[in-house]
A and B are shown apart, each in its own frame.
Chain A
Amino acid sequence: MQNSSSSSPPPTETIQRKGQSRTGLYAVVAVVVVVVLIVAGGYALGWFKTSSPSTSTSGCTLPASQTLSGAGSTLVAPLMIAWSLAYTASTVNYASVGSGAGITDITSKSVDYGASDAPLNPAQRAAIPSPGVITIPESAGAAVPIYNLAVSHTLKFDGAVLAGIYLGDITNWNNSALQAINPGVTLPSATIQVVHRSDGSGTTFVWSSWLSDENATWKSTVGFGTTVNWPTGIGAKGNSGVTATVQSTPDSIGYVDINYALTNSVAYGAVENPSGNYILANVSNIASAIKDANPTLPAPTGDWYNVSVLNAPGAGDYPLATFTYIFLYTDLGAAYGSSFSMVDAENLVDFAAWMVNESGGQLFSAGLYYVPLPAAVSAFDASAIAALTYNGAKIPVCVPTGISPTG
């Protein structure tokens, strides 16, 4: 009796559970199998292949299509991704890993081009192995002050006020300096919640560079770089983190790249330019700023660390404009060795030349709230790209035509 009772079936609850969990397992396996079959079938049927139309050119011959890889800035990632989807002459893979990682990757030669919002700093430049890289601007943007404050008008800021806020000297929205440049706006008495980037960023580079230009105390105590030691404030990760933090924190102020402010429709302030006008950033006044700043660009292989398009002289120019950059090895054969053929090199220079071309990649800028390069900079880039070599030999450049955002 005892034996039979101890070997009696366990309570029904347990049996049901076991049965049901086994059924669950089968269901999961079935779903996985079906998904795999659909994906495999779809792949066989060509669902995931974008139709590759023959790419037109202006008379020259494109090399056989190869795969190119780039990595870096998250800021230009939307533009890079649009480019790589539209570009048909090569397959382009872009990893959006951050400007610093992009610089690390080009230094270790694990990618064909690196992208960064800030130029190489002296230490990074020294770490680049032979034969060295060229630095060329491939797009442009601007940092804008965003805020979350119940006010009726768009706020105006100048360098002294923004430096004061970010130094922690101006702590209340009804501060007299802020009120003085915002006549007619009723500023509430509320503590300013300062938001800044917690990760390293090209946007921080622009913001802190401009504050260094504007304010001596900022320059001597904080300085500029992709990360700085913030005297005050809350750190948030990424442009999206700053945007979300400002949106969810009343009485806060932050700074983001303009495309984040526009795509998230968050309020941003007008900033005083050297002519004394308060400019609310938009694509055209940033473009004119970059044009007017007429940066005497260094040689493509030179030191770009001090290149600045801040505080352009034009009366209507936005003062916080910036370039974003890509890096390419000057001699692709010497850099990558025999695993990188002349055909690969041709693919790379064609794509680079297309990116900076006014009727090529630059057409994509405006729709994504980036700023197209001025003609002079485009031409500068094109000649830098044409000067690239493969084991000393010139690389023929052939820019595809007819690739546009709509087509």
Chain B
Amino acid sequence: MSLGNPFPPPASRARLRAAKWGDRIFLVLTGLGAAGVIGLLVAFVAVLYYKAQPTIKLLGFSFLYTQIWNPTGGVYGVVPFAVGTLLTSGLALLIAVPLSLGAAIFLTQQAPQWMRRPVGQVIELLASVPSIIYGFWGLIVLVPIMRVDVEPLLKEYLGWTGWFGGTPIGLDVLTASVVLSIMAIPTITAVSRDSMAAVPLSQKEAAISLGATDWEVTRRAVVPYARSGIVAGVTLGLGRALGETMAVTLVIGNKSAIPTSLFSQGQTITSLLANDFFEQATPLELPALIEAALVLLVITLAVTIIGRVILARFQRSGTAGLE
């Protein structure tokens, strides 16, 4: 059976020329779009670097290892905030990844058909809730729960680890991490659910025909196939956690010191910017804040690149295993 050429040859030479020109204009337009995006990123880094010159020149590398931030004393160190950012985001992933993967597996493999779409859509809806709402919810609802119910228990049973020292008051690194994890869960779940839903039926049928249990099907057929999507989801979730500002500012307690336990108050780079950007104590604080923003950008880029590398490795081994 012949289907015919879906793109019949142009009727005339003039039409052909017009089509060629159209393609060229199209190419220029899309090319401009791509160049614009790259240009924005370059301009962004350049401006940050330029505006941070006063502190980069004055403080040099000491900005990267000084552990004190005291604008009135002229001492600027990004360490407390970099630690706060990495600690809260890391903890958030530790909480969010298992929950998200569980939800995604349930929604694609085990939930009854009628339930999959509505629940999936609700989860996607959660991803678009503005962060300030998570922040207020965290401050008003979660903080009291953490202070009264969760943190005293952690202190009693896990206090010996040294991670849960000090008086638990709810406004601390742990609560910030929990809020961040709740914000990352919808993103990770939605992306991994999509990639798990895209696993071909033949993969699963093959595993089932070999007598695999639900667990084995998930572990041997679904997860390996969907791995790249899962890593992409986790990277996106991490990106959201690293960049989150308002929700963290509301619940982390905003203390410019390296947290000594998960119950201590801390600051992330974003909360530092939110707090200090509009009211600098000294003229030198503005370039210092901009340099901190630059550090956050580098951290985010590094994390994204690491995510890509993991993805590339998975894809290589993944395709090798599949075909």
Contact = CB atoms under 8 A, between A and B. Distances in A.
A247 to B, nearest CB: 8
Contact of B283 (A123, A199, A241, A245): A123
Given A237-B250, A244-B140, A199 B171 contact: no
B278 A193 contact: no
B156 interface: no
A199 B170 contact: no
Interface in A335-355: none
A249 to B, nearest CB: 6
Contacts of B167: 191
A90 interface: no
Given A11-B201, A229-B72, A249 B171 contact: yes
Given A123-B283, A244-B139, A97 B278 contact: yes
A253 B278 CA distance: 25
Instruction: Give the 10 A-B residue pairs with the shortest CB-CB distance, closest first.
Output: A200-B279, A235-B254, A198-B254, A100-B279, A98-B278, A198-B275, A199-B275, A234-B253, A101-B278, A227-B281
Contact of B171 (A13, A123, A228, A234): A234
A98 B72 CA distance: 20
Given A200-B280, A248-B140, A193 B250 contact: no
A225 interface: yes
Indicate the size class of the contact surface on chain B.
20 to 34
Interface string A1-38: 00000000001010001001000000000000000000
Contacts of B254: 198, 234-237
Given A99-B279, A227-B71, 18 more contacts: A11-B201, A127-B283, A193-B169, A198-B271, A198-B275, A199-B276, A200-B281, A225-B281, A229-B70, A234-B265, A235-B255, A237-B249, A237-B250, A237-B275, A245-B139, A249-B147, A249-B170, A249-B171
B282 interface: yes
B249 A198 contact: yes
Interface in A223-240: 223, 225-229, 234-237
A97 B277 CA distance: 11
A273 interface: no
B144 interface: yes
A201 interface: yes
Contacts of B281: 200, 225-227
Interface string A87-99: 0000000000111
Interface of A: 11, 13, 17, 20, 97-101, 123, 127, 191, 193, 198-201, 223, 225-229, 234-237, 241, 244-245, 248-249
A242 B36 CA distance: 42
A241 B252 CA distance: 12
Given A199-B279, A234-B265, A235-B254, A225 B140 contact: no
Contacts of B249: 198, 237, 241
Among B167, B253, B282, B283, find the residue whose CB has the most chain A CB atoms closer than 10 A: B253
B76 to A, nearest CB: 13
Nearest to A234: B253
A13 B107 CA distance: 14
Among B71, B113, B143, B250, find the residue whose CB has the most chain A CB atoms closer than 10 A: B250
A245 B171 contact: yes
B139 A235 contact: no
Given A11-B201, A235-B265, A227 B283 contact: no
28 contacts: A11-B201, A13-B113, A97-B278, A98-B279, A100-B278, A191-B167, A198-B254, A199-B278, A200-B280, A200-B281, A225-B72, A226-B281, A227-B276, A227-B281, A234-B169, A234-B253, A235-B254, A235-B265, A236-B254, A237-B249, A237-B250, A237-B275, A241-B250, A245-B139, A245-B171, A248-B139, A248-B144, A249-B143
A248 B271 CA distance: 20
Contacts of A97: 278
A249 B276 CA distance: 24
Nearest to B69: A229
Nearest to B167: A191
A349 to B, nearest CB: 28
B274 interface: yes
